Amino acid sequence: MTDMLEIPEYDAEDVTELRQAQRLIARLRHELMMVEEASRRLPNEYRVMLDEERAAKVEALFEQRKLFVEQDDTWELEEAFTEFVCGWIDVQWDMVQMDEPEAPSIVLSA
């Protein structure tokens, strides 16, 4: 009866290449896990894709420190953009509340 599991034989050079391949595979697996982790959306995180014109406007307003009222030199673009979006969400929310007094309000739990 022949052996059902045939184990290939390797010479020293093959073993070295195999170990290098194993290390490379392990490194690539680690890098893939890091990329996957970084790309996961966090709770309360939203992503916005802007066309070129609007992206240029956001960048120009940021550079002029006019993206939102309290913007100064200490703000990073992402933080300032978040503040800008939050402000306009509040404006829109308030407008809906004034137009539709019976509209549901949001109660945040701690």
* Mean pLDDT confidence for 37-56: 89
Q: Long-range contact list for 95-98, CB < 8 A, 24+ apart?
A: none
Range of the domain at 72: 52-99
DSSP characters over 17-79: HHHHHHHHHHHHHHHHHHHHHHHSPPTT-------HHHHHHHHHHHHTT-SSTT--TT--HHH
At 109 the three-state DSSP class reads coil
pLDDT at 43: 86
pLDDT at 15: 61
Residue 62 lies in a domain: yes
Most confident of 1-5, 9-13, 20-24, 50-54: 50-54
Residue 64 lies in a domain: yes
- What is the pLDDT of the chain when averaged over all its residues? 84
- Give me the number of domains the chain comprises: 1
Residue 32 lies in a domain: no
pLDDT at 8: 62
Residue 93 lies in a domain: yes
Residue 6 lies in a domain: no
Residue 9 lies in a domain: no
- The single-letter DSSP state of residue 103 is S
pLDDT band at 96 (very low <50, low <70, confident <90, very high): confident
Residue 27 lies in a domain: no
How many angstroms separate the CA atoms of 82 and 67, rounded? 10
Residue 65 lies in a domain: yes
